[in-house]
């Protein structure tokens, strides 16, 4: 064995445990030894992790069961996001899954586009069984949803509680743990790599072959090396502050994240078991904290408790893997929270690190490939998120700032192609599926000017018949779905029993 | 009021013109009127006789009957391409249209193979673990098994055919379905004075053919997109120095091999494409490194049987247009660019352009072509060309033919960054490139990276989750399964003789 054997993960909270456990589980048999150096948590009791659907695959690779995660974290399912503005026209549901079914080999979306031009007045989201179920407070059970709208779901996970099973699992898997109140990197003479870290003012000195920085925005290891500069994306994203709060649960909540846009920013109501967590984004230049709190409370419609305010700075580290240090999660990139992609970005970092884990003592090629693919993946997420602000139909200085940014060329190309023809220009390394892009573009008020001419080969009567059949099939299927809260309760009980 | 039809003019016959006309006729509605102009006086290049498996999707889309298609075009089955002497004299490998082994536990097969090899286990060459390579080496053929568990399902196939006959076959198909054909030679391109769009073509006969949108399949001349609209040329000669080809058909002889053969030569390489009724041959060479007469002598000396004609000389430049779509004209085929036929990509590039064009074609009611749609078409066009270019350059760059000037040049030339990175990653750990869009697949890259003699220093450490003993055991079982499935397999000659009998055609069977 010649590949690096000793890996130190320095960090906190979910990024620390997910990274350490993933490497340990995948590579222990290859002789890799993982030490997690745990810094004090940065989490507040009001925080919540919002995932994207692929997190389930990461959990299952680790051997974590869904029931355990949801029960111990007090988490819930999410089938997507419900966006609302000031009017009915500004409301749309972004379901994680697909929409509709193809008609005689023609993409459903193209058919929907043409049918809409011919007078069909049914929103795109009404062809997603998941979206319809979620709006009715129903869960789309994974097994029995063949055909129309397969069940793709994510989780809302109260952050502190989620870390408990993660940490226990990492330790069970063989990760060694070192507690630390502080960590000081010992940098090589040329500044290009780490020799060791000193824990708690030299109480311990730990050496390793590879260091992973999962310490969040502090980037305690990554920032110590030369070439640690960041590319600033804040021009694309108007918010620089986020307010977290808790709200009592007035009623049961559907399996989705409820997002309302107001003049000063947007507010997400995130249901977890037993309460709602609230996240409000705003810009400190135009909105003072008290006003932001008032805005958040007004959007939530209830009094808020346990308020905290943090800052965010969107951007990406130029060298995500620099020397022998790999920055993961928020140490690598700051993403806007609008599409719940932060945990997903962490997962991408872990997955690509595993597939590019050094095979020998020299790993320039692996590092170059990792940096290439991560950069591309994060830019595609940036584009998707940036489109939300670029195209937002809302009024107010916050939204004006978002619209004023000049979009990346890859995004303006995508917007143009959609506007002209309804196509989503295919690009490598996308995290959001074409139907997610379509959903967001439509929700932002773009109606494509034409459809692929091949769609005209489907007879209008055939198209109308299929559209009616899909709608009635969704209507029939949706009533068979369980209520979200009942489904959750049963799932958690089953395991506990 | 019936709107007047949108008039599409395809300029040029040959495979590009008739694939475009047939494909667009199949994909577009009756509100598009398609007219193809071809000249009986201008020959077609017609060397694109070897294809990739994607052609089957195109034929299936048209609803062609495979048996009839193969009979009509003198077609044979193709499982891959044999590269002889590319790494060094005497070496040979096959780039198959199929997998190497199977992925185990989500890790690519070659990592297990490399690990066992690097640990000194007694393993077979990588080529022995590809079912399609072994089927090809035995000159056999069968359709891929339906059972995905069967090792006999791990490949797809393409065809060798007579490109002239294919164009004829598609011409009949298209004309039966309403495509109009005009015989004539274009002598003038007529522009809209205000915006520069092409409005019509004047023929030598004096006839004027006007249209709303033009598909330029005029071959190397690139009459519309190159000449009339001046889309700039990107030259790639510094990466792909071959600029000439001599082509000659000959009598068929010997076993009917189910693969194309490409044999490296001092000045380039020689192709051999077996059809039912003849064998196509050609020498692709660089005029900077070998004289045409010497190339002709070498080519004729390697023929299987008697030549049917004198070798015909073709001149070309490797590269592509900056934009294939300008104004209201799209170049499809050789008018859009040229890559030497080393990996049989010419017909694939036509097919991809037709499919992309159908999706991005102006709506029948539109007054002008939408530049936003052109931008997307051109982005995809550039991606297709650049990915193939890198793959072709790899065959040249990684060689050990030391002392031969052409090969010494390509071994030392600076590579595109995108390719250099792929080679370094493979050398470090045996990871083959994997992307979603465009050619080529991970298995194709693996075949050529390994075949060109690049030896990985290590393997993916994730492969070590399986013990060395288990790995060696699985490798042994895999090769036993391959050998087992190959037992009693029919030769392609026997398979074809049966399959191409007229009663196999769908119509006759009914």
What is the full DSSP assignment across A413-477? HHHHHHHHHS-----TT-SS-HHHHHHHHHHTT---S---GGGGGS-HHHHHHHHHHHHHHHHHH
User: Dihedral of the CA atoms A255, A257, A260, A264 (nearest 10)?
Assistant: 160
Q: Looking at beta carbons, which residues of chain A come within 8 Å of B376?
A: 413, 416-417, 421, 423, 425
Beta carbons of A453 and B361 less than 8 Å apart: yes
Q: pLDDT tens across B469-507, in order?
A: 999 999 999 999 999 999 999 999 999 999 988 776 554
pLDDT-derived band at B4, boundaries 50, 70, 90 = confident
Q: Which residues contact A400 (CB under 8 A, 6 or more apart)?
A: none
Beta carbons of A416 and B437 less than 8 Å apart: no
pLDDT-derived band at B102, boundaries 50, 70, 90 = confident
Of the candidates A133, A60, A90, the residue with the CA atom closest to the CA atom of residue A262: A90
Q: Which residues contact A311 (CB under 8 A, 6 or more apart)?
A: A240, A241, A242, A284
d(Cα B224, Cα B201) in Å, to the nearest integer? 10
As to burial, measured by CB atoms within 10 angstroms (0-12 exposed, 13-18 middle, 19+ buried), residue B441 is middle
Are A159 and A342 a contacting pair, CB within 8 Å?
Answer: no
Q: Is the pLDDT of residue A345 over 50?
A: yes
User: Dihedral of the CA atoms B154, B160, B164, B169 (nearest 10)?
Assistant: -50
pLDDT at B138: 97
Q: How far is B106 from chain A (nearest CA, A)?
A: 10
d(Cα A140, Cα A254) in Å, to the nearest integer? 11
- Best residue in B5, B62, B106, B376 to probe A by mutation, most A CBs within 10 Å? B376
Beta carbons of A413 and B458 less than 8 Å apart: no
Q: Looking at beta carbons, which residues of chain B come within 8 Å of A359?
A: 428-429, 457-461
Q: What is the mean pLDDT of residues A220-229?
A: 97
Is A368 within 8 Å of chain B by CB? yes
pLDDT-derived band at B47, boundaries 50, 70, 90 = low
The sign of the dihedral angle between the CA atoms of B192, B195, B198, B204 is positive
Closest by Cβ to A360, choosing from B364, B457, B462:
B457
Of the candidates B263, B250, B212, the residue with the CA atom closest to the CA atom of residue B93: B263
Of the candidates A410, A411, A391, the residue with the CA atom closest to the CA atom of residue A399: A391
Q: What is the mean pLDDT of residues A123-135?
A: 95
User: Quick check: helix, strand or coil at residue A184?
Assistant: strand
Higher pLDDT, residue A484 or A250 = A484
pLDDT at B508: 42
d(Cα B376, Cα B348) in Å, to the nearest integer? 19
pLDDT at B507: 47
pLDDT more than 70, % of chain A: 96
Q: What is the mean pLDDT of residues B245-252?
A: 94
Q: pLDDT tens across B307-332, in order?
A: 999 999 999 999 999 999 999 999 99
Task: Please identify which residue in the block is written with the tokens 């070798």.
Answer: B311
As to burial, measured by CB atoms within 10 angstroms (0-12 exposed, 13-18 middle, 19+ buried), residue B46 is middle
As to burial, measured by CB atoms within 10 angstroms (0-12 exposed, 13-18 middle, 19+ buried), residue B367 is exposed
pLDDT at B40: 86
Closest by Cβ to A29, choosing from B359, B375, B465:
B465
Is A110 within 8 Å of chain B by CB? no
pLDDT at B509: 40
Q: What is the mean pLDDT of residues B142-151?
A: 96
Catalytic residue among B4, B56, B78, B117: B78
User: Quick check: helix, strand or coil at residue A393?
Assistant: coil
DSSP string, B53-108: THHHHHHHHHT--HHHHHHHHT-EEE-EEEEESSSSTT-EEEEESB-SS--BTTB-
Q: Is the pLDDT of residue A13 over 90?
A: yes
ipTM reported for the complex, 2 dp: 0.96
d(Cα A431, Cα A12) in Å, to the nearest integer? 25
Q: Is the pLDDT of residue B264 over 50?
A: yes
As separate numbers, helices (DSSP H) first and strands (DSSP E) second, chain B gives 15, 21
User: Quick check: helix, strand or coil at residue B210?
Assistant: strand
Q: What is the mean pLDDT of residues B36-48?
A: 77
Q: Is the pLDDT of residue A250 over 70?
A: no
Is there a catalytic annotation at residue B204?
Answer: no
pLDDT at A143: 65
d(Cα A439, Cα A432) in Å, to the nearest integer? 11
Q: What is the mean pLDDT of residues A402-430?
A: 98
Q: pLDDT tens across B186-230, in order?
A: 999 999 999 999 999 999 999 999 999 999 999 999 999 999 999
Element containing residue B393 per DSSP (H, E): helix B371-397
Q: Which residues contact B176 (CB under 8 A, 6 or more apart)?
A: none
d(Cα A387, Cα A206) in Å, to the nearest integer? 44
Q: CA triplet B496, B501, B507: central angle to 5 degrees?
A: 125
pLDDT at B42: 76
Of the candidates A417, A452, A448, the residue with the CA atom closest to the CA atom of residue B355: A452
Is A3 within 8 Å of chain B by CB? yes
Q: Looking at beta carbons, which residues of chain B come within 8 Å of A413?
A: 375-376, 379
Mean pLDDT of chain B: 95
Is A27 within 8 Å of chain B by CB? yes
Tally of residues, chain B = 510
Q: What does the block give as tokens for A163?
A: 């870390």
Are A164 and A18 a contacting pair, CB within 8 Å?
Answer: no
Q: What are the CA-CA distances from residue A371 to residues A316, A365, A379, A422, B442 (Å)? A: 11, 10, 12, 32, 20
pLDDT at B44: 66
Of the candidates A416, A423, A427, A353, the residue with the CA atom closest to the CA atom of residue A387: A416
Q: pLDDT tens across B281-317, in order?
A: 999 999 999 999 999 999 999 999 999 999 999 999 9
Are B49 and B158 a contacting pair, CB within 8 Å?
Answer: no
pLDDT at B45: 64
Closest by Cβ to B462, choosing from A26, A365, A421:
A26
Q: How far is B468 from chain A (nearest CA, A)?
A: 11
Sheet of B260-265, strands arranged across = B92-96, B80-84, B260-265, B268-274, B279-285, B244-250, B312-315
Question: Please, how many CA atoms are within 13 Å of residue B175, restricted to the half-sphere of its CB?
Answer: 13
Q: How far is A103 from chain B (nearest CA, A)?
A: 15
The 10 Å CB-count burial string (b at 16+, else e) for A393-415 is: ebebebbebbeebebbebbebbb
As to burial, measured by CB atoms within 10 angstroms (0-12 exposed, 13-18 middle, 19+ buried), residue A288 is exposed
Beta carbons of A453 and B358 less than 8 Å apart: yes
Question: Please, how many CA atoms are within 13 Å of residue A380, restricted to the half-sphere of its CB?
Answer: 21
- The secondary structure of residue B267, as a DSSP letter, is T
Q: pLDDT tens across A141-170, in order?
A: 876 555 665 789 999 999 999 999 999 999
pLDDT at A202: 83
Tally of residues, chain A = 497
The 10 Å CB-count burial string (b at 16+, else e) for B474-498 is: bbeebbeebeebbeebeebbebbee
C-alpha distance across the termini of chain A, in Å: 45
Of the candidates B166, B191, B192, B170, the residue with the CA atom closest to the CA atom of residue B181: B170
Q: Looking at beta carbons, which residues of chain B come within 8 Å of A60?
A: none
Are A105 and B358 a contacting pair, CB within 8 Å?
Answer: no
Q: pLDDT tens across A313-342, in order?
A: 999 999 999 999 999 999 999 999 999 999
- Best residue in B24, B212, B372, B466 to probe A by mutation, most A CBs within 10 Å? B372
Are B375 and B330 a contacting pair, CB within 8 Å?
Answer: no
Q: Looking at beta carbons, which residues of chain A come within 8 Å of B372?
A: 416-417, 419-421
Q: Is the pLDDT of residue B9 over 90?
A: yes
C-alpha distance across the termini of chain B, in Å: 42
User: B interface toward A at CB cutoff 8 Å?
Assistant: 27-29, 31-32, 358-361, 363-364, 366, 370, 372-373, 375-376, 379-380, 421, 424-425, 427-429, 431, 435-437, 457-462, 464-465
Q: pLDDT tens across B109-125, in order?
A: 999 999 999 999 999 99
Of the candidates A222, A95, A196, the residue with the CA atom closest to the CA atom of residue A150: A95
pLDDT more than 90, % of chain A: 91
Q: Is the pLDDT of residue B41 over 90?
A: no
Q: How far is B471 from chain A (nearest CA, A)?
A: 14
Q: What is the mean pLDDT of residues A452-461?
A: 95
pLDDT at B403: 97
d(Cα A409, Cα A419) in Å, to the nearest integer? 15
User: Quick check: helix, strand or coil at residue A407?
Assistant: coil
Q: Is the pLDDT of residue B280 over 70?
A: yes
Closest by Cβ to B379, choosing from A360, A425, A456:
A425
Closest by Cβ to A365, choosing from B28, B428, B462:
B428
pLDDT at A249: 76
pLDDT-derived band at A97, boundaries 50, 70, 90 = confident
Q: pLDDT tens across B381-420, in order?
A: 999 999 999 999 999 999 999 999 999 999 999 999 999 9
Closest by Cβ to A453, choosing from B364, B429, B457:
B364
d(Cα B382, Cα A450) in Å, to the nearest integer? 24
Q: What are the CA-CA distances from residue B459 to residues A281, A373, B431, B477 (Å)? A: 46, 19, 8, 21
């Amino acid at each position: 064995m010649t590949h690096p054997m000793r890996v130190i993960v320095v960090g906190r909270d979910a990024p620390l445990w997910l990274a350490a456990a993933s490497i340990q589980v995948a590579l222990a048999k290859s002789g890799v030894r993982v030490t997690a150096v745990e810094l004090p948590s940065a989490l507040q009791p009001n925080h919540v992790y919002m995932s994207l659907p692929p997190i389930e695959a990461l959990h299952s690779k680790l051997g974590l069961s869904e029931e355990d995660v949801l029960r111990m974290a007090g988490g819930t399912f999410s089938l997507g996001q419900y966006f609302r503005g000031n009017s009915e026209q500004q409301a749309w549901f972004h379901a994680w899954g697909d929409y509709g079914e193809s008609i005689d080999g023609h993409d459903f979306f193209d058919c929907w586009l043409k049918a809409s031009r011919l007078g069909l007045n049914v929103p795109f989201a009404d062809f997603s069984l998941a979206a319809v179920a979620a709006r009715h407070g129903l869960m789309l059970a994974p097994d029995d949803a063949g055909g129309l709208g397969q069940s793709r779901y994510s989780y809302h996970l109260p952050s502190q509680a989620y870390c408990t099973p993660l940490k226990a699992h990492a330790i069970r898997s063989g990760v060694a743990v070192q507690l630390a109140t502080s960590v000081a990197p010992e940098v090589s003479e040329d500044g290009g790599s780490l020799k060791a870290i000193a824990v708690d003012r030299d109480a311990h000195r730990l050496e390793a072959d590879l260091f992973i920085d999962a310490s969040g925005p502090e980037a305690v290891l990554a920032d110590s090396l030369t070439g640690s500069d960041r590319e600033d994306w804040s021009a694309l994203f108007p918010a620089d502050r986020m307010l977290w709060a808790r709200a009592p649960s007035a009623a049961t909540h559907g399996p989705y994240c409820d997002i309302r846009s107001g003049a000063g920013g947007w507010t997400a109501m995130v249901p977890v078991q037993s309460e709602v967590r609230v996240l409000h984004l705003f810009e400190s230049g135009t909105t003072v904290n008290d006003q932001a709190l008032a805005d958040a409370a007004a959007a939530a419609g209830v009094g808020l408790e346990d308020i905290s305010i943090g800052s965010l700075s969107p951007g990406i580290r130029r060298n995500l893997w620099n020397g022998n240090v790999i920055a993961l999660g928020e140490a690598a990139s700051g993403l806007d929270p609008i599409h719940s992609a932060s945990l997903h970005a962490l997962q991408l970092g872990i997955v690509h690190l595993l597939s590019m884990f050094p095979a020998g003592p020299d790993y320039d090629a692996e590092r170059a490939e990792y940096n290439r693919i991560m950069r591309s993946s994060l830019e595609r997420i940036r584009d998707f998120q940036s489109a939300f602000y670029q195209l937002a139909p809302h009024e107010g200085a916050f939204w004006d700032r978002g619209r004023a940014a000049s979009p990346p060329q890859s995004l303006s190309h995508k917007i143009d192609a959609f506007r002209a023809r309804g196509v989503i220009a295919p690009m490598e390394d996308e995290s959001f599926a074409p139907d997610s892009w379509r959903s967001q573009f439509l929700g932002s008020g773009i109606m494509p000017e034409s459809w692929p001419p091949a769609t005209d080969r489907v007879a209008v009567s055939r198209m109308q018949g299929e559209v009616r059949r899909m709608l009635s099939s969704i209507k029939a299927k949706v009533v068979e779905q369980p209520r979200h809260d009942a489904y959750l309760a049963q799932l958690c009980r089953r395991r506990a029993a | 009021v019936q709107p007047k039809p949108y008039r599409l003019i395809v300029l040029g016959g040959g495979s590009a013109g008739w694939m475009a006309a047939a494909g667009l006729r199949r994909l577009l509605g009756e509100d598009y009127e398609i007219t193809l102009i071809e000249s009986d006086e201008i020959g077609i290049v017609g060397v694109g006789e070897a294809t990739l498996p994607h052609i089957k999707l195109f034929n299936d889309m048209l609803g062609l009957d495979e048996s009839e298609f193969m009979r009509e075009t003198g077609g044979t089955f193709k499982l891959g391409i044999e590269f002889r002497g590319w790494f060094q004299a005497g070496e040979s490998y096959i780039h198959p249209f199929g997998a190497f082994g199977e992925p185990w536990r989500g890790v690519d097969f070659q990592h297990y193979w490399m690990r066992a090899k690097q640990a000194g286990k007694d393993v077979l060459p990588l080529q022995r673990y590809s079912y399609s390579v072994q089927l090809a080496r035995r000159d056999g053929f069968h359709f891929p098994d339906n059972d995905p568990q069967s090792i006999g399902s791990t490949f797809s196939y393409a065809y060798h055919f007579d490109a002239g006959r294919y164009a004829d076959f598609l011409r009949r198909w298209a004309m039966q379905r309403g495509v109009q054909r005009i015989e004539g030679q274009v002598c003038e391109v007529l522009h809209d004075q205000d915006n520069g769009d092409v409005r019509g073509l004047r023929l030598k006969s004096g006839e004027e053919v006007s249209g709303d949108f033009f598909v330029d399949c005029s071959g190397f001349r690139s009459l519309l997109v190159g000449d009339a609209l001046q889309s700039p040329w990107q030259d790639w000669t510094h990466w792909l120095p071959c600029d000439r080809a001599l082509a000659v058909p000959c009598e068929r002889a010997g076993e009917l091999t189910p693969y194309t053969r490409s044999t490296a030569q001092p000045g380039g390489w020689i192709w051999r494409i077996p059809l039912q009724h003849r064998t196509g041959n050609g020498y692709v060479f660089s005029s900077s490194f070998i004289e045409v007469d010497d190339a002709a002598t070498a080519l004729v000396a390697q023929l299987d049987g008697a030549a049917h004609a004198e070798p015909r000389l073709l001149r070309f430049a490797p590269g592509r247009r900056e934009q294939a779509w300008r104004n209201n004209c799209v170049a499809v085929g050789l008018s859009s660019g040229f890559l030497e036929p080393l990996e049989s990509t010419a017909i694939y590039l036509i097919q991809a352009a037709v499919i992309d064009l159908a999706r991005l074609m102006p709506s029948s009611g539109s007054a002008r072509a939408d530049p936003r749609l052109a931008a997307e078409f051109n982005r995809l066009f550039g991606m297709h060309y650049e990915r193939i270019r890198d793959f072709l350059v790899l065959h040249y760059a990684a060689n050990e033919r030391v002392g031969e000037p052409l090969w010494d040049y390509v071994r030392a030339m600076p590579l595109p960054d995108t390719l250099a990175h792929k080679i370094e990653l493979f050398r470090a750990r045996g990871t083959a490139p994997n992307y979603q869009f465009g050619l080529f697949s991970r298995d194709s890259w693996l075949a050529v990276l390994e075949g060109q003699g690049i030896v990985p220093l290590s393997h993916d450490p994730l492969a070590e989750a399986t013990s060395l003993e288990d790995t060696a055991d699985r490798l042994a079982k895999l090769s036993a399964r391959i050998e087992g499935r190959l037992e009693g397999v029919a030769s392609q000659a026997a398979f074809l003789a049966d399959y191409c009998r007229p009663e196999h055609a769908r119509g006759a069977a009914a």
